[in-house]
Amino acid sequence: MKAKNSEWWRGGVVYQIYPRSYQDSNNDGIGDLVGITERLPYIAALGVDAIWLSPFFKSPMKDFGYDVSDYCDIDPMFGTLEDAKVMIKTAHDLGIKVIIDQVLSHSSDQHPWFIESRSSRSNDKADWYVWANAKQDGNPPNNWLSIFGGSAWQWDTRRRQYYMHNFLTSQPDLNFHNPQVQQALLDSVRFWLDLGIDGFRLDTANFYVHDAQLRDNPPRGEPTGFDPAVPTTNPYSWQWHKYDKSQPENLDFMRRLRALVDEYPDTTMVGEIGDDDGLARMAEYTKGDDLLHMAYCFDLLGDAHDATFIHGVLSRFNEIAQDSWPSWALSNHDCKRLASRWGQDSNNLHQLKTFAAFQLSLRGSPCIYQGDELGLTEANIAFEDLQDPYGITMWPEFKGRDGCRTPMPWQEDQYHAGFSNVQPWLPVATEHLNKSVLTQQQTPGSLLHFYQQFLNWRKGQTTLLKGDMQLLPHHQQVVAFTRQYQGQTLLCVFNFSDQAVTWTLPSSIAQCSPINTTGLSGAVVQTSQIELAAWGSLIAEVTTV
């Protein structure tokens, strides 16, 4: 039976925590669940609605938890199930929902399911993973590639077959064409719902089902332009991924998953979409009321961010999405830090405030990555300190994801910035010390203060939370749109350039009254124009003609 849902997630703000790097409570150099629990008051004061935790399940950590060896237990480096229960209760007591990562497309090669599956071609789990015979010449069964480099097929000497892996060879793909696999995964999802979590972030949500005929992907050729999901130095981007993911049957499993989640009150799911056409897939996976509640893709997670590009992304999504509900992410654990990608490593507060206000004003549910509220830049990690296998493989043109995963700086004058009393798994970036939480809490006008002010103001703005959105005409420097709800219209204007500009109000707006409690600056309203300083922003209540 479908439970009641307050739809708190519709317009709610999610704060992503990378557990390894948030707070170490037991001095082993790795963040843990107890450490997260200790920092929940900080998150509550920030003003977000939910936290999303990257995986903390049992894992050999070849891909830092995205290679699960037990879906229903906590890895000892993060704590215990009891620690998870305490964290969930503490979060709920503070009014914070808890979303956890679910990595359903693949498991670790050390999962008991795979250990049994690879032992023979006739065991009970022989077809729980994607196995295929070699071609007559011994080559892999088709041309599919791994995102982490090379073929998506790994030879296994016991079965004398290849198994599929979209990521590391130690992350074999589960076979969703097998109903038993689907049911086992649904059972693991129910385990966490029964424990009291409020929803799931679905890793690689469109990767679950592969083409049963194992047809070759069409060639794309060497990319010459922008690819938001995969660097063009990676041969993965040389194919159109027609058959190795985003299959129609994937939506059938999503409906089963949604029906299960809907049995529990006030729950939600947000999906990560990696596709050749991420916006279209994102719209497809969130349409109606029986698939994902919301999803995000990689179009705003690349380097491109001028007004023309952003207007194009929003315009195309509006055209194809209809009533779909997006989750807009500008940063996460898989991409370069926002302040470095879009801010070119500057410390320009006007610029970083504009990025934040833009994200938090869009129709959808924003997701903020830990440290973005501090303006952390991408850390420069020496090769000998790299941990990410993706970066080690693709070095030096692509340095991987370690630079956005360094420990959270809590206090500048403490050992390892208050993250741990021992050497952390990744070094604390020296350039992050003067951006620490305590430093910014003690500095009026800091970026952290702005996030707190804006997020807590936003909680009372139903128009921003749930209202419709109308994108205003393209401008070379300015992105502008209106949000409308129950008779109120808000105008949101952002100068995405380092040059001042005069922006003309559309003829449909008769009167414009700036809202000064947002913490934004750099805009002066004239009779029919708005003077915007470099990176200036404005949110105003307007009267339409």
Task: List, by residue number, the catalytic residues.
Answer: 203, 263
Kindly report the number of other CB atoms within 10 A of residue 35's CB atom.
Answer: 24
Cis peptide before 396 (omega within 30 of 0): yes
Which residues does 412 contact at the CB level (< 8 Å), separation at least 6?
433, 434, 436, 438, 439
Q: Which of 267, 294, 272, 270 is nearest to 283 (CA)?
A: 294
Q: Residue 324: what residue type?
A: S
Over the range 481-501, which residues count as b (16 or more CB within 10 Å of their CB) and which as e? bbbeeeeebbbbbbbbbeeeb
Sign of CA dihedral 296, 298, 299, 303: positive
Q: Which of 148, 147, 63 is nearest to 107 (CA)?
A: 63
DSSP category for residue 534:
T
What is each CA distance from 4 to 157, 438, 453, in whole angstroms? Answer: 51, 40, 31
Within 13 Å, how many C-alpha atoms sit on residue 416's CB side?
Answer: 22
What is each CA distance from 207 to 44, 244, 245, 247, in whole angstroms? Answer: 34, 7, 5, 8
Kindly report the number of other CB atoms within 10 A of residue 539's CB atom.
Answer: 26
Block residue for tokens 């979303």 = 99
Angle made by CA atoms 93, 466, 259, in degrees to the nearest 5: 70
- Encoding tokens for residue 518? 């947002």
- Please, is 37 exposed, middle or buried when counting C-beta atoms within 10 Å of its C-beta (0-12, 13-18, 19+)? buried
Q: Residue 88: what residue type?
A: I
Which stretch of DSSP H or E encloses residue 117? helix 112-117
- Encoding tokens for residue 539? 């949110």
Residue 111 CA to residue 59 CA, distance in Å, equals 8
Beta strand 523-525 pairing with 367-369: unpaired
Q: What is the CA radius of gyration of the chain?
A: 23
